[in-house]
Amino acid sequence: MAKITVSTLKKMKEEGRKIAALTAYDASFSQLFQDNGIHVLLVGDSLGMVLQGGTDTLGVTNQDIAYHTRCVRAGAKDTFVIADMPFMTYSTVTDTCKHAAELMRAGANMVKLEGGEWLYDSIKALTIQGIPVCGHLGLTPQSVHVFGGFKIQGRENEQANKMVQDAQALERAGAQLLVLECIPSALAERITQSVSIPTIGIGAGKLTDGQILVMHDLVGISAGYIPKFSKNFLLETGNMPAAVKKYLDDVTSGAFPGTEHEFN
């Protein structure tokens, strides 16, 4: 496959072509995902739960993400790799730049930060210094204790309006991609139409510019709980390469997610 860049992703949005993304944490799976056409790989702090066995993502360190980013890059030379910035690694502009640089040196093409307009100065500073940024709105797992659990966000008008404003502020600051997690599909559509940068949804309906799943959910091996917005593609196909290809085909065709995977 041709090398994927931020320009590729922006062009896909402009042309109405869906972006297919998965989390990845090692070289073997990242190569499998690249070989089967996945456009974007996220080295997510979800590793704190699916790899380390934690109940949330807060224990993940920048060193953890950097290590797994190097592993993913080793297996996927041409795929676009985003690295999550862990809990409290971007509380100040200085810390943000320092920790983001470590992840870029490890092989990331972009870093992802959770939060809204309060990140404006940090995103602007990263962009000025040549570090591409992905924003993350909706259910932001690093704020799970503020939310009181993993709960759907944006159902109230005030919160929904604020999320639209946050998305626009992140774009103005220089963000080039936006993840929308566990929000009503109508709000995801509204945000997608309100910004010129691509949006990638997870539990946000089918009207975003792309989709992402945690790879363990894709194959039905997440311990004890499979989210409503996920689908076990391995059960349907019988082998890993076919499952990944089926996911890619269903995302790009618009068949996934279906109405049963979205929130109203």
- Whether the bond between 257 and the residue before it is cis, its omega within 30 degrees of 0, is yes
Average pLDDT over residues 30-35: 98
Residue 162 assigned as binding residue: no
Q: Are 204 and 180 in contact (CB under 8 A)?
A: yes
Residue 143 assigned as binding residue: no
Catalytic one of 102, 171, 181, 262: 181
> Is 181 among the residues known to form the active site?
yes
Burial of 129 (0-12, 13-18, 19+ CB in 10 A): exposed
Residue 120 has pLDDT above 80, yes or no: yes
Helix residue ranges per DSSP H, the chain: 6-15, 27-35, 47-50, 62-75, 93-105, 120-128, 144-147, 157-173, 185-194, 215-218, 233-237, 240-253
Ramachandran angles phi, psi of 63, nearest 5°: -65, -40
Compute the distance between CA of residue 160 and CA of residue 153 in angstroms, rounded to an integer: 8
pLDDT tens, 124-176? Answer: 999 999 999 999 999 998 887 776 766 789 999 999 999 999 999 999 999 99
pLDDT tens, 57-73? Answer: 999 999 999 999 999 99
Q: What is the pLDDT of the chain when averaged over all its residues?
A: 95
Compute the distance between CA of residue 191 and CA of residue 78 in angstroms, rounded to an integer: 29
Beta bridge partners of 211: 20, 201
Q: Are 200 and 178 in contact (CB under 8 A)?
A: yes
Encoded tokens for 72: 């993913």
Residue 45 assigned as binding residue: yes
Q: Are 20 and 40 in contact (CB under 8 A)?
A: yes
* The pLDDT of residue 149: 66
* Chain center to CA of 203: 11
Residue 84 assigned as binding residue: yes
Residue 112 assigned as binding residue: yes
- pLDDT-derived band at 205 (thresholds 50, 70, 90) equals very high
Name the pTM for this structure: 0.96
* The pLDDT of residue 151: 77
Compute the distance between CA of residue 226 and CA of residue 209 in angstroms, rounded to an integer: 23
Q: Are 230 and 261 in contact (CB under 8 A)?
A: yes
Show the domains of the chain with their CATH numbers.
6-261 (3.20.20.60)
